[in-house]
Amino acid sequence: MRRYLTRKILIYTLTFFLAVTIDWLIPRFMPGDPIRNMLARVSVASNASAIQMMYDYYARLFGLDLPLWQQYLNFWKALFQGNLGISTYLFPTPVIEVLKRAVPYDAFLLIPSILLAWYAGNNFGAIAARSKRLDNFILPLSYVLTATPYMWLGILLAWFFGIVLGLFPIAGAYSFSLRPTWSWTFVLDLLHHWFLPFASLFIIDFGGWAIGMRNMIIYELEAEYSRYLTALGAPQRLIRRYAFNNAILPQITGLALRLGVIVAGALVTEVVFSYPGIGYLLLAAIQNQDYFLIQGCFLFIILGVLIANFVIDLVYIVVDPRTRRGMVGESA
Amino acid sequence: MALKVENLTVYYQTLRGDVHALEHATFQIADGEIMGLAGESGCGKTTLGHSLIVLFPPMKYIAGKVLLDGEELPIWDSERMNAYRFRKVSLIPQYAMNAMNPIRKIGKMIQELLESRGVDYREVLPELKRRLDLVSLSHEVLNMYPIELSGGMKQRMVMVISSLLNPSLLIADEITSALDVATQKAVAEMLVEFRDCQFVNTMIVVTHDISILYQIADSILIMYAGVLAEKAPTQSIIESPRHPYTRMLISSLPEVGVRHADKRLSGIPGNPPLLLNPPTGCRFRDRCPLAYERCLEEPPFLEIEKDHYVACWKEFESHA
């Protein structure tokens, strides 16, 4: 058990270092640089030498005049002190402050949509597996849903429910006329704005899980332990329950594998609905070449995906005795 | 008679038509009898074994009657059959290695299975433990997952589970095939012990290994291409087989003390017919050295001596 966990933590730490390094590297491959971008936006001076002076000043301030390897080391040093730098796009707000404002919206959008889609998809798939009529209807629908790009469905929902029917707002996390407070009006408004982005994430993931579960249940019902129970006259209820318990295991692994895809889907959905989460922020950061904000956003995504995967590893130990027993052996 | 099977016919439904896997099976088994059911792969022996307890699609009941202890089994109706399964008829499957739910502790699985059949686990537990002792499994296995048991242990565990409710008929399907020779013998002897302790009344042991049957079976039923060829007490089948197929089958077994470098082991030339569209008449006709015009008609399965049944025109002729 201990060995298994140490090994997992080691792998996750290594992944973290690699991912963060790539995250640091990629913005720096972009043409142009954040300081010039920032100065162009404020356009304080027209004099070329004045701009050059300001450029040098800010470059020194952000540490961008140093050689790359030095910048890299500084980045890690700062990171361990919990310092993600200062955003050039939202200058002079520290990146960590910007993220703190965005993360609750992500959690609010992602956690319910991922978990509910997983739960509902699995249950629907299991029901579809034993009802021919439901199966004929759900399966093709699920294939269409799971193949739909997130942003396309988002646009479609926004157009239909937002513009044609006018039922839901299509942008923002709450109305511009309101200020965030803990009042019923605000909470209802928040939910009203939350619904469409949530629905577009939920619907697509739901399709994928339903297909997976349906196929797994059919496979498990054909498995030999199911046949043995049938031969011993066990009621369908017991056989189905066993099949479900076995079929859910690959779906848990699937959740770990798909998390990355879902998070990427959430990014584009947030852009479609101008939802002020990390995805929306990331787009703005990239457009403004804000190295520090890009790094910060990716850092959060990396951490989120890794932590979620680790949690799933732990859950797996609980639900599948075979992993637990396997841990004492060589393969642990 | 404990088990009486009359004219049992089961087909496999396929896209290309019905496969005549079992036709006109008529035989009976006496109380306390262990009947071996042998034949080559695809001859319908597993179909016969399974049709007495559960018909999985594409298996389809066509005709026939099965009487167990004088009561007719509704084998065509899977729902009604549930009442008889496990309590009256039980099965040790070919796939004993994978027969238990991999993510349940064995004891817990047995408990859930028993309770689903309306049996109190705590009442059965002392007997269950006694039987574990009998097959030399520790009581600890009830707290283990199937993955923690070896192949032989799983086999014995499944034997205990299947016979737990003292069924009248126990069908053991190819249970020794996956085991090494030493374990085979132990498992086969356990079957006999189960009968001797009266856990089960009668037993059908399906196998293609006649040497195992020689050790444990009271009688042997030989099948060929979906029909019964011969049934007789074990001694008669081995020493004086009547059906040409049985004779050739027995003579193709290796014997102890014979060096097969000197004497080439003879097989049976040819292949069994395809059962999708089986030939009329005796199905062994094409491979039979004794075949003559009468064999174009299907031979009945008749008793030519006491307890010795055979389906061959030549034999009827010599006894007529």
Q: How far apart are CA A3 and CA A78, in angstroms?
A: 32
Spell out which chain B residues touch chain A, with contact meaning CB-CB distance below 8 angstroms.
Answer: 53-54, 56, 81-87, 90-91, 93, 95, 98-105, 112-113, 116-117, 145, 147-148, 158, 161-162
Q: What is the pLDDT of residues A195-229, one digit of tens each?
A: 999 999 999 999 999 999 999 999 999 999 999 99
Q: What is the pLDDT of residues B60-116, one digit of tens each?
A: 999 999 999 999 999 999 899 999 999 999 999 988 889 999 999 999 999 999 999
Closest residue in chain B to residue A225, using alpha carbons only = B99
Does residue A3 surpass a pLDDT of 90? no
Compute the average pLDDT of residues B44-52.
92
The shortest C-alpha distance from A10 to chain B (Å) reads 28
Q: Which residue has the higher pLDDT, A43 or B23?
A: B23
Q: How far apart are CA B161 and CA A209, in angstroms?
A: 36
pLDDT recorded at residue A19: 92
Q: Do B98 and A223 touch (CB under 8 A)?
A: yes
Compute the average pLDDT of residues B241-269.
79
Question: What's the pTM value of the predicted model, to 2 decimals?
Answer: 0.84
Where does the pLDDT of residue A331 fall: very low under 50, low under 70, confident under 90, or very high at 90 and above?
Answer: very low
Q: Do A223 and B90 touch (CB under 8 A)?
A: no
pLDDT recorded at residue B268: 83
> Which of the 8 DSSP states describes residue A183?
S
Where does the pLDDT of residue A84 fall: very low under 50, low under 70, confident under 90, or very high at 90 and above?
Answer: confident
Does residue A287 surpass a pLDDT of 80? yes
Q: Do A230 and B91 touch (CB under 8 A)?
A: no
Q: Do A322 and B82 touch (CB under 8 A)?
A: no
Q: What is the pLDDT of residues B109-159, one digit of tens each?
A: 999 999 999 999 999 999 999 999 999 999 999 999 999 998 889 999 999
User: In degrees to the nearest 10, what's the CA dihedral of A123, A129, A132, A135?
Assistant: 60
Does residue B256 surpass a pLDDT of 60? yes
Query: Contact at 8 Å (CB) between A198 and A112?
Result: yes
Cβ neighbours of A234 in B, within 8 Å: 113, 116-117
Does residue A181 surpass a pLDDT of 80? no
pLDDT recorded at residue A235: 93
Domains of chain A: 2-31+89-326 (1.10.3720.10), 37-83 (no CATH)
Query: Contact at 8 Å (CB) between A51 and A45?
Result: yes
User: In this structure, what token pair is assigned to residue B303?
Assistant: 């008793």
User: In this structure, what token pair is assigned to residue B63?
Assistant: 């005709």
A114-123, A248-257, B171-180, range with greatest mean pLDDT: A114-123
Q: Do A230 and B56 touch (CB under 8 A)?
A: yes
pLDDT recorded at residue A59: 80
Q: Which of A26-30, B88-92, B262-266 has the lowest mean pLDDT?
A: B262-266
Compute the average pLDDT of residues B236-257.
86
pLDDT recorded at residue A153: 92
Does residue B51 surpass a pLDDT of 90? yes
Q: Is beta strand B202-206 parallel, antiparallel or unpaired with respect to B34-38?
A: parallel
pLDDT recorded at residue A321: 81
Q: How far apart are CA B71 and CA B83, in angstroms?
A: 13
List the single residue in A229, A246, A325 with the smallest CB-CB distance to B113.
A229
Where does the pLDDT of residue B314 fall: very low under 50, low under 70, confident under 90, or very high at 90 and above?
Answer: confident
Query: What percentage of chain B has pLDDT greater than the value 70?
Result: 97
A177-186, B67-76, B249-258, range with greatest mean pLDDT: B67-76
Compute the average pLDDT of residues A243-247.
93
Cα B147 to chain centroid, rounded: 27
User: Mean pLDDT across chain A, nearest whole number?
Assistant: 85
Q: Is CATH 3.90.470.10 the classification given to domain B1-32+39-81+218-253+272-320?
A: no
Q: How far apart are CA A218 and CA A136, in angstroms?
A: 14
Compute the average pLDDT of residues A268-275.
90
Where does the pLDDT of residue B260 fall: very low under 50, low under 70, confident under 90, or very high at 90 and above?
Answer: low
Query: Measured between CB atoms, does A325 come within 8 Å of chain B?
Result: yes
Q: How far apart are CA B40 and CA B30, in angstroms?
A: 25
Query: Contact at 8 Å (CB) between A226 and A220?
Result: yes
The shortest C-alpha distance from A238 to chain B (Å) reads 7
Does residue A330 surpass a pLDDT of 70? no
pLDDT recorded at residue B170: 95
Cβ neighbours of A237 in B, within 8 Å: 116
Query: Contact at 8 Å (CB) between A33 and A312?
Result: no
Compute the average pLDDT of residues A86-97.
82
Where does the pLDDT of residue A332 fall: very low under 50, low under 70, confident under 90, or very high at 90 and above?
Answer: very low
pLDDT recorded at residue B1: 76
pLDDT recorded at residue B56: 87
Query: Contact at 8 Å (CB) between B49 and B206?
Result: yes
Compute the average pLDDT of residues A82-99.
82
Strand positions, DSSP E, B159-207? 169-173, 202-206
Q: Which residue has the higher pLDDT, A139 or B258?
A: A139
Q: Which of residues 102-131 of A touch B (CB under 8 A)?
A: none
Q: How far apart are CA B10 and CA B16, in angstroms?
A: 16
Residues 6+ apart with CB under 8 A from B127: B164
Does residue A14 surpass a pLDDT of 70? yes
Q: Do A321 and B103 touch (CB under 8 A)?
A: yes
The shortest C-alpha distance from A288 to chain B (Å) reads 53
Does residue A304 surpass a pLDDT of 60? yes
Compute the average pLDDT of residues B187-197.
92
Cβ neighbours of A328 in B, within 8 Å: none
Q: What is the pLDDT of residues B24-41, one digit of tens each?
A: 999 999 999 999 999 888
Closest residue in chain A to residue B88, using alpha carbons only = A232
User: Mean pLDDT across chain B, nearest whole number?
Assistant: 90
